[in-house]
Amino acid sequence: MQTLLLLSSSKFIQKDLKPVIGKALSDLRIAHIINASKGKGVSNLAYLERTKDIFKRNCGYYEDLDLDGKNEDQLRNILKNFNAVFVNGGSTFYLLKSIRESGFDKVIKELLLEDFVYMGASAGSYVACPTIEMATWKHQDKYDHYGLTDFTAMNLVPFLMTVHYIPELHDLLKVKISETNYPVKILNDEQALLIKGNKIEKTATWRRI
């Protein structure tokens, strides 16, 4: 049964995850996917170091994993040594490009049929959705698109997400949500969504527009 924990911010994993996903961080061997941080315009990497610090203090084991230059067979061989991935934030466009070129999307769908956990923060949550069209919305569209015109993503969940919510975005999001063909889940940095099988669970209060 697939397990996904979709976050706005890695700050959420400072909490005890055992009541949330059934495993503590200390039970996890995490491949930390860092490709979104490589995109043009991602200048402040404090979030990346914060995530690594959380892993160092709490995780059973973690290792940074760069998808660039890898293929499906290489990723299968690498990821057989892990029971979770944490796909971190940054440029959603660069991350999606790396996912497509490496075949990570195919490999993660295979792994999620097993006892494997997908965690994504910000861009890492966006690429789990059917498309990354929300990354083109005015408040999010701040990175190079790397020539991407097809925004189809991994389609691990049947909805879109928008993260880092603050009340000032209410009116903009209300318009954009009315224009998309998908339901949209909204998270602030204290919130997350847990998907177990086909069931979506609230790990904190959902904000709705």
208 domain residue, yes or no: no
- What is the per-residue pLDDT for 202? 59
37 domain residue, yes or no: yes
- What is the per-residue pLDDT for 205? 44
147 domain residue, yes or no: yes
Secondary structure of the chain as H, E, C letters? CCEEEEECCHHHHHCCCHHHHCCCHHHCEEEEECHHHHCCCCCCCHHHHHHHHHHHHHCCEEEEECCCCCCHHHHHHHHCCCCEEEECCCCHHHHHHHHHHHCHHHHHHHHCCCCCEEEEECHHHHCCCCECHHHHCCCCCCCCCCCCCCCECCCCCCCEEECCCCHHHHHHHHHHHHHCCCCEEECCCCCEEEEECCEEEECCCCECC
Tens digits of per-residue pLDDT, 25-38?
999 999 999 999 99
209 domain residue, yes or no: no
The residues pairing with 199 across neighbouring beta strands, listed in sequence order, are 196
Q: What CATH number does residue 78 fall under?
A: 3.40.50.880
Structural domain including 157 reads 3-202
47 domain residue, yes or no: yes
Tens digits of per-residue pLDDT, 3-53?
999 999 999 998 889 988 999 999 999 999 999 999 887 878 999 999 999
pTM attached to this predicted model:
0.92
State the total domains in the chain: 1
